[in-house]
Structure 1
Amino acid sequence: MPKIQILDDTLASQVAAGEVVERPSSVVKELVENSLDAGAKHVTVEIQRGGTAMIRVTDDACGMNREDALLSLERHATSKLKNSEQLESILTLGFRGEAVPSIASVARFRMTTREKGSVAGTEIQVDGGTLRDVRDAGVPEGTSIEVKQIFFNVPARRKFLRAESTEFAHVEHQVRLHALAAPEVRFTLIKDGRPVFDLPAASDWRVRISSLAGSEAAGKLIEVKRSAGPGMVLRGYLLPADYARKGRRQQFVFLNGRPIEDSAISRALRDGYKGAVSDGVHPAAWLWIDMDPSLVDVNVHPAKKEVRFRRPFDVRNLIAEAVERSLAGDLEEPPPATDFPATPERAETTEQPVGSPVAPTGKKPSVSAVGASSQRVPVSPPAAPSQPSSPSRETSTSQPVFPHQVEQQEELTAPSGKPVVEQPDFRLIGPLHDRYVVLEGDEGVVLLDPVAARERIVYEDLLAAGSGAAIESQGLLVPELLELDAVDYDIVLRHAGHFAEAGMQVDSFGGTTVQVSSMPAFIKVSDVRGFLLELVDELHETVGSRRGKAMAFEAFATGLAKRVGRREPCRIDHAESLLTAMFACDLPYCTPDGRPTLIHISLNELDRKFGK
């Protein structure tokens, strides 16, 4: 008997589903694309339990007769591709003929469809790839596909699904993508029987952006006017550099009506901002590219998210130059909003670093300062508090005072009942390029990173709060309202308890808007929105993959500490209180993620550098 065997159709479809159907949002993507390719003017997406219980996509497109409906369930059956020559000029969103049979192989599948002008429609039921029933049905013109119990017959895949709120956030993001790609189509999204949004058809992309990104962002839009390159045309909108985010979730790029992800386009966007955005963050943009289909290969990714350009440098140059001109305001007046077309018609250094992290020396706390005349001015070490400055985590219920909650000019004391690493005998020299504080130690030079020091202090205070202590919270005079995208909104609400433990009251305010009504007293920020969005970006990286409340809160505390640390000034008058607070920590010599707070350069090392 041969070892190599041909897979049966059901198993082959389930294998293909592993590439096409990753989660409920993948099902929504494929079905909505089919609706748009069929000429729908209204697409309705209904979801139950984040899509794990039910997904229904209904359109008013051309519909199918019984023969075509049955053929659509066969692998590699498609109406969008007739021969290999057409593969070089694809303008439809789908073309492989794998999506519908793949979805039907891993769920309980029901399709109702009626061709325009037909008297009767067709209903088809499939369970896990097995055809159960085909019958005539009285249904509206168009097609409705219902997918229930996704992965019911592939439990290994089902266990990888996330929380219902997370899965729905991905579904909503996917529907928003297609709503931006096709503003001429009405989109309705319904969650557990309640409408999430109903977007009427629009002739202006700005209307869609405003509906989905919020009025605040829409009011700051910078237009990228029509810019032509060899075989391509670019149009779109940008937000100012201060709206840049750590991830690329605020970049929406559409190629011939297809949402795509491309790192080269992201780099071109950054290049167009000419250094206005800092390293590690990405500007917000909505870009629509119309391109000769022979210049792009859309058949390089199973889920069709990525493409391959035949002239990538032309694409990058077009985007970078158009963005740069738009930010400079060099283009002519924009055309009227009604003239905006909709989507295309569908058929490092080598030298070793000097210094090493400082280790404890066992000396008693003592700090001196060097003034402008280089004369040492002694500063007495902080006196022990007459009352405990923070409670025992096990027994006390009183409100603790954390070191960084004291004014910076005051000397900070260590919480009582807590082991303290003894502070070495340092003498303050001064700031270095507004980034580090130079200290003189007994055996050489020590550099203090104020940002890293503040991270350690805030992190340990947050962990104390998570262990039962409380962080003093300060209410905002005017609560801040923030319109978020679906994924950001989900992660904020999922960690609302962590925000509360850290002194930040964040609540839902309807839709995907949240209200921030209080902030921790030790955080002095004027831009609450920017601070929260930075923290959300950090949560996407540090919390998303971690399990368990304690571990998740540690990751949350790490992210919040980083955001606060970035705002720590490098000033000599802050150094003394910062050092005292830092050495009141359990682990003063490193940040939560292991970066050093102090670097020591010994006299012997300096002598070697000078050849002594």
Structure 2
Amino acid sequence: MPRIRILPEILASQVAAGEVVERPASAVKELVENSLDAGAGEILVEIRRGGAALLRVIDDGSGMSKDDALLSLERHATSKLADSAGLASIRTLGFRGEAVPSIASVSRFRLITREPEAVAGTEIAVEGGVMRDVREAGCAPGTTVEVKDLFFNVPARRKFLRAESTESAHVEHQLRMHALAAAGVRFRFRKDEREVFDLPAGMSRLDRVRWMTGNDLGRELIVLPLTHGNGVSVEGFVLPAIHARKGRRHQCVFLNGRPVEDGAISRGLAEGFRSALSDGLHPAAWLWIEMEPSLVDVNVHPAKREIRLHRPHELREVLTEAVREGLAKAEAAKRPVFKVEATVAPARPVEERPVFHGTPREVPRTAAPREWPASLPVQQRMFEPVAAPAVAPATTSLPVPVPEAPPVSKAPPFRYVGTLHDRFAILESEDGLVLLDPRAARERILYERWLHDADGRGVESQTLLVPVLLEPGPRECELALRHRDEFAKAGIELEDFGSGTLRVGSLPDFLKLADVRSFLTGLIDELAGGQLPGSRVAFDLLAKLLARRAALVEAPRPHEALRLLDVLFRCELPYCAPDGRPTLTEFSIKELERRFSGAKSAGF
């Protein structure tokens, strides 16, 4: 007797259901996608007990004839794909023809459907994959699918269902995703005889996102400009970096109308925010991507959640530029509301320091570190080209100082109050109390200077008298050499010395490190451990490390807060350091009054 046998049809459908129908939300996804493919303008979803007891999807789409309704219950029967060539140009959400028979094989299933021109509809009853009844039925045009007792004949699968509230939440999340993907369709959701939401048709995408986020967050949405690439268009919304969270569930991405998850898309979003995000956090975003079907493979995951892009780097770059442009416009829109205070009297006098002009070779090497200015006019080029004489410190013990403020300030109207433990500056704003972290502010300023110089003529470097040899390992060495151009932009010259060894010939002229070897080895290890997708990310990380080092070496000067603010608010993202730490923290008058009034009411 042969040991290999063909599975019975019902068993094969139940096996397929294990991949397609993971939980009630999976069935809702498949049925709603069928409704959208049928051109529905209104979809009603009802569930009971989390969808395990009852799950009903009603639409007003094209409906089916009796013959088509019967064929829809056969495995691999579909009207959306005719030949293998069509697989490369899929524009429908479904195409495999597995969802309906798989769901019917693990539930008590009922299908009612009618075409608009037909006199009567068709009702089909299936129980555990076995046909029970087929008859005519009076019904409205469209299709109704009713699923009862999901997994009743597969107890092992039913056992793994979570609490009713959990399953209901998954169903609602799935519907919200489809409601965002198809803003022109009316979506209604009823749970245990109670209507949860009713979204009218014709809502704009912005309105649906605001409905999903709420009014408070909706007001902070940043609109991304419509961006076109090679066969790709992107538009959508993001929230400021302060609202970034762990995980990516708050990133809603729709590719050709299909909710998808893809690492390249998430990385493109993160790169667009540059250093505004703390490690481990991901920005909140809602993106609609239109792409030529031939550029994406949607047939790589049983539930079609994941996709494979043929040119992921191009989509990532389009996303990155769209996010950066949107953030820049949002930041520019805020700046005009700031008022500049005419005169500011510091709480204590600022120590006067001599300023030396000339090239670094003209500066006397015997000057003490305390004799050098805290800010240098030459650093104005970090923001805009300015013909100014170079200014350099007389000693190499300090990193590049903070640039001098421009004549017109873009900073909010702060008044300097004092210093807290020689670490933080205390400021007064129109709305309350502000604490400034000078170290974090310098990190932001220096970081953006590296980015600006790298985009321009490059960071000035200094040749090492004795080159440093690194042996990070063959794979790490290959990674560093692959990003050699990015290291060069940062002022670090790397060469292949053979046998997994790197030769470091130069470093940025302002960066003085006690242990160059450990610094660069740690940097390369961090790059390798992060599995970075592109050179731009490698340079961003390098710039962050350099900025942090420069800011840590120099002691903070809180009493120079106002000069620092003038330069800080010429940055693209003045409110956070490159690693996401805040540069400013504000305590509003209302918050302070609430704190003190609470203490009073408590009897203090």
Alignment TM-score, normalising by the size of structure 1: 0.54
Q: Which residue of 2 aligns with 1:252?
A: 252
CA offsets per residue over residues 530-559 of structure 1, 9 Å max, x none? xxxxxxxxxxxxxxxxxxxxxxxxxxxxxx
CA apart distance, 1:58: 0.3
Q: Which residue of 1 aligns with 2:14?
A: 14
CA distance in 1, matches of 2:233, 2:107: 41
Q: Given residue 46 of structure 1, which amino acid in structure 2 is its aligned partner? A: E
CA distance in 2, matches of 1:215, 1:32: 28
Q: Which residue of 1 aligns with 2:492?
A: none
Q: Which residue of 1 aligns with 2:290?
A: 290
CA apart distance, 1:207: 0.9
Paired residues in the alignment total 337
Residues 222 and 330, structure 2, Cα contact 8 Å, conserved in 1: no
SS of match in other structure, 2:246: coil
Residues 325 and 331, structure 1, Cα contact 8 Å, conserved in 2: no
CA distance in 2, matches of 1:200, 1:239: 25
CA distance in 2, matches of 1:182, 1:213: 17
CA offsets per residue over residues 259-303 of structure 1, 9 Å max, x none? 001122111111100110100111000000000000000100000
Q: Which residue of 1 aligns with 2:315?
A: 315
- Provide structure 1 residue ranges, at least 5 long, that are not aligned to the other structure: 334-432, 435-565, 568-612
SS of match in other structure, 2:30: helix
CA apart distance, 1:203: 4.5
CA apart distance, 1:15: 0.4
Q: Which residue of 2 aligns with 1:409?
A: none
Q: Which residue of 2 aligns with 1:452?
A: none
CA offsets per residue over residues 556-588 of structure 1, 9 Å max, x none? xxxxxxxxxx99xxxxxxxxxxxxxxxxxxxxx
Residues 298 and 304, structure 2, Cα contact 8 Å, conserved in 1: yes
Q: Which residue of 1 aligns with 2:93?
A: 93
CA distance in 2, matches of 1:332, 1:254: 28
Residues 120 and 136, structure 2, Cα contact 8 Å, conserved in 1: yes
CA distance in 2, matches of 1:108, 1:234: 42
Residues 199 and 211, structure 1, Cα contact 8 Å, conserved in 2: no
Q: 1:245 to 1:331 in 2, by over 3 A?
A: closer
Residues 255 and 291, structure 2, Cα contact 8 Å, conserved in 1: yes
Q: Which residue of 1 aligns with 2:62?
A: 62
SS of match in other structure, 1:329: helix
The within-5 A match list for 1:78-227 is 78-227=78-227
The within-5 A match list for 1:322-337 is 322-329=322-329
The within-5 A match list for 1:276-425 is 276-329=276-329
Q: Which residue of 1 aligns with 2:484?
A: none
CA distance in 2, matches of 1:119, 1:210: 42
CA distance in 1, matches of 2:122, 2:47: 23
Q: Which residue of 2 aligns with 1:35?
A: 35
Residues 152 and 158, structure 2, Cα contact 8 Å, conserved in 1: yes
CA distance in 1, matches of 2:313, 2:262: 13
The within-5 A match list for 1:586-597 is none
SS of match in other structure, 1:183: coil
The within-5 A match list for 1:498-517 is none
SS of match in other structure, 1:73: coil
Q: Which residue of 2 aligns with 1:469?
A: none
CA apart distance, 1:330: 8.1
- Provide structure 2 residue ranges, at least 5 long, that are not aligned to the other structure: 334-438, 441-580, 583-604
CA distance in 1, matches of 2:53, 2:212: 26
CA apart distance, 1:137: 0.3
Q: 1:98 to 1:276 in 2, by over 3 A?
A: same
SS of match in other structure, 1:45: strand
CA apart distance, 1:201: 1.1
CA distance in 2, matches of 1:203, 1:59: 18
CA distance in 2, matches of 1:105, 1:23: 14
CA distance in 2, matches of 1:114, 1:288: 33
Q: 1:117 to 1:248 in 2, by over 3 A?
A: same
Residues 256 and 290, structure 1, Cα contact 8 Å, conserved in 2: yes
CA offsets per residue over residues 222-274 of structure 1, 9 Å max, x none? 01111001011000001011111111111000000000011221111111001
The within-5 A match list for 1:506-585 is none
Q: Which residue of 1 aligns with 2:409?
A: none
CA offsets per residue over residues 299-349 of structure 1, 9 Å max, x none? 00000001100101001111011101110118999xxxxxxxxxxxxxxxx
Once the two structures are overlaid, the 10-residue window that deviates more, 35-44 or 240-249, is: 240-249
CA distance in 1, matches of 2:30, 2:74: 16
SS of match in other structure, 2:77: coil
Residues 202 and 208, structure 1, Cα contact 8 Å, conserved in 2: no
CA distance in 1, matches of 2:329, 2:323: 10
CA distance in 1, matches of 2:17, 2:10: 10
CA distance in 2, matches of 1:214, 1:37: 29
Q: Given residue 150 of structure 2, which amino acid in structure 1 is its aligned partner? A: I
CA apart distance, 1:218: 1.2
* Structure 1 residue runs of 4 or more that deviate by more than 2 Å after TM superposition: 330-333
Residues 32 and 57, structure 1, Cα contact 8 Å, conserved in 2: yes
CA distance in 2, matches of 1:313, 1:31: 33
CA distance in 2, matches of 1:113, 1:297: 31
Q: Which has the higher helix share?
A: 2
Residues 264 and 313, structure 2, Cα contact 8 Å, conserved in 1: no
CA offsets per residue over residues 19-41 of structure 1, 9 Å max, x none? 00000000000000000000000
CA distance in 1, matches of 2:57, 2:269: 34
Q: Given residue 188 of structure 1, which amino acid in structure 2 is its aligned partner? A: R
The within-5 A match list for 1:462-473 is none
SS of match in other structure, 1:43: strand
CA apart distance, 1:204: 1.5
CA distance in 2, matches of 1:301, 1:197: 30
Please tell me whether residue 48 in structure 1 is matched to residue 59 in structure 2. no
CA apart distance, 1:213: 1.7
CA distance in 2, matches of 1:331, 1:129: 58
CA apart distance, 1:12: 0.4
RMSD: 1.8
CA apart distance, 1:202: 2.4
Q: Which residue of 1 aligns with 2:73?
A: 73
Q: Which residue of 1 aligns with 2:236?
A: 236
Q: Given residue 232 of structure 1, which amino acid in structure 2 is its aligned partner? A: V
Residues 225 and 331, structure 1, Cα contact 8 Å, conserved in 2: no
CA distance in 2, matches of 1:250, 1:310: 25
SS of match in other structure, 2:94: coil
Residues 124 and 133, structure 1, Cα contact 8 Å, conserved in 2: yes
CA apart distance, 1:105: 0.2
Q: Given residue 142 of structure 1, which amino acid in structure 2 is its aligned partner? A: G
Q: Given residue 279 of structure 2, which amino acid in structure 1 is its aligned partner? A: D
CA distance in 1, matches of 2:165, 2:51: 10
CA offsets per residue over residues 37-80 of structure 1, 9 Å max, x none? 00000000000000010000000000001000000000000000
Residues 186 and 198, structure 1, Cα contact 8 Å, conserved in 2: yes
CA distance in 2, matches of 1:217, 1:6: 55
CA distance in 1, matches of 2:203, 2:81: 29
CA distance in 1, matches of 2:319, 2:178: 22
Identity rate, percent: 64
CA distance in 2, matches of 1:31, 1:276: 40
SS of match in other structure, 1:101: helix
CA distance in 1, matches of 2:331, 2:124: 54
Q: 1:331 to 1:101 in 2, by over 3 A?
A: farther
CA distance in 2, matches of 1:101, 1:141: 22
Q: 1:10 to 1:149 in 2, by over 3 A?
A: same
Residues 225 and 235, structure 2, Cα contact 8 Å, conserved in 1: yes
